[in-house]
Amino acid sequence: MILYLFCLLFGILLLFYSGSKLIDYAVVLAKHLKVTPALIGLVVISIGTSFPELCVSLLAGAQGEINLAIGNILGSNLCNVGLILGLCAMVSALPVGRQIVKTDYFFLLTATLLAGFSLYDGIYSVIDALFSFAWFLCFFFFSLRKSKRDFKNSELEHEVSEEYKHLKDLSAFTLCLYFFFSLIGLFAGSELLIYGGSHLARAFSISERVIGLSVVAIGTSLPELMATASAALKKQHEMAIANILGSNIFNIIFILPSLGLFGSHSIDAFFISRDLLALLISTVILFPILFTGKRISRFEGFILLGSYFAYFIFLFKNG
């Protein structure tokens, strides 16, 4: 019992520490690479925090569990928008920059629509995968080029704020190492929290189903949650939003088409009628939230969070 409690508490502390350090290193690394922090969030952090989804989906695909893999991808994207973005906005309203509105959301919407068209006929083919990979390359190179252009007009080109002065003399290689170790810390903290929390729950005779729907489900989303929350608390708002949008883009036009490496697959109809529809709706809901104001307000965060929990309850009741 004491061991499980220690794992739970240490996991929480490790998550907070690693998430905070990850953002510190990302901001200074952006200056070294002459890109904006938003690009680091959009590409590097989002891909890093989506690595568990990549591993789970590829393993499931290799074992022929294609529907499990697709469920993992769609569920992760719904969690990112509803739970993580909604929760972070409720804690602190998130200003929305023009890059988020004009480009990042455009790529997210088109990527989601592309996934919808690919899955709508109930077959995910190699051709579908190739189209998605091509769109991912367009997204990556466009974002990189635009970020370097935006960097020249930003204050980051000239100085690093006082909060990061102690890191400015570190080399890009050293920052990359620290950044990588911070990512590992996020994953390790998540695993410790899941391990300690699930065993404590069993000790109190809580059912496996409840454990799976609560401790494990939320625990696997903690790396993205902590990275996004840390960015928001450190006033790196564009990085916070870009991390969520980038993670969703990576999931559906990189991880999903990776399943095409295993050949064409039949998709269960309920993914199309339930989960894919829910993802399309959540993505469309983001449009007025991002475009009607210059920030995601606490009330809008409440709407996102409430929508996710409504979907979560629906899953719980209907399997």
Count structural domains, the chain. Answer: 1
Closest CA relative to residue 284, chosen from 157, 139, 146, 105: 105
CB 39 within 8 A of CB 242: yes
Q: For each successive 10 residues of the chain (319 residues), what is the average pLDDT?
A: 83 80 78 73 76 72 74 83 89 77 85 89 86 91 77 53 62 84 84 78 66 57 81 81 87 87 74 80 88 82 90 73
pLDDT of residue 213: 47
CA distance from start to end of the chain: 32
pLDDT of residue 99: 64
Distances from the Cα of 196 to the Cαs of 31, 215, 289, 299, in angstroms?
38, 10, 37, 34
Q: Can you give the CATH number for the domain in which 94 is found?
A: 1.20.1420.30
Buried b (16+ CB within 10 A) or exposed e, 292-306: eeebbeeebbebbbe
The parent domain of residue 80 ranges over: 2-318
Classify strands 265-266 and 94-95 as parallel, antiparallel or unpaired.
unpaired
Distance in angstroms (rounded) separating the CA atoms of residues 171 and 241: 27
Q: Which two tokens stand for residue 245?
A: 């949008």
Q: Could you tell me the pTM of the whole model?
A: 0.81
The Cα angle at residue 221 between residues 220 and 223, in degrees rounded to 5: 95
